[in-house]
Structure 1
Amino acid sequence: MSSHNRFSPRAFTMPLAAFTMAGLLFVYTRSSIRMARRNAQMERESLRARGNANSSEKGVE
């Protein structure tokens, strides 16, 4: 390989694409985990609220 071809734009295309894909995957993974945690917390709070509502209704009878 000659020295003038070593730093051509083609030499940077694949590494740039790989780093871009890795960055997007990282961001997507972090946001998915954050969203799943938020949804799980909301589900727990919803179940807890329903459980409290059901127990207070049983106490009225």
Structure 2
Amino acid sequence: MSHNRFSPKAFTMPLAAFTMAGLLLVYTRSSIRMARRNAQMEREALRARKSRSGLSDGGPGVE
């Protein structure tokens, strides 16, 4: 009764787990990067709208 410990079946589950972990890592990092980029673009758009309308960046009621 000889069982080969290094058969292709023995590597299937760990390979699938590492692949899923890698994909999750890439997806998470790219999502965070896109969220930061979108937030920065929104801040810049808000500043541009404020400057076009003549408001200061000092907050509400500051002249």
Question: Is the shorter-chain TM-score for this pair beyond 0.5, marking a shared fold?
Answer: yes
Aligned residue for 2:53? 54
* Percent of pairs with identical residues: 82
Name whichever structure is richer in helix by fraction: 1
Does structure 1 residue 4 correspond to structure 2 residue 7? no
Greater alpha carbon shift after TM alignment, 47-56 vs 24-33: 47-56
The two structures have a TM-score, normalised by structure 2, of: 0.80
Distance across 2 between alignment mates of 1:5 and 1:31: 40
Q: Residue 24 of structure 1: SS of its match in structure 2?
A: helix
Shift of 1:5: 2.4
CA RMSD of aligned residues (A): 1.5
Aligned residue for 2:19? 20
Q: Which runs of 4+ in 1 moved over 3 A?
A: none
Larger RCO, structure (CA 8 Å, separation 6 or more):
2
The two structures have a TM-score, normalised by structure 1, of: 0.83
Distance across 1 between alignment mates of 2:2 and 2:22: 30
Unaligned runs of 5+ in 2: 56-63
Amino acid paired to 2:8: P
Shift of 1:3: 5.4
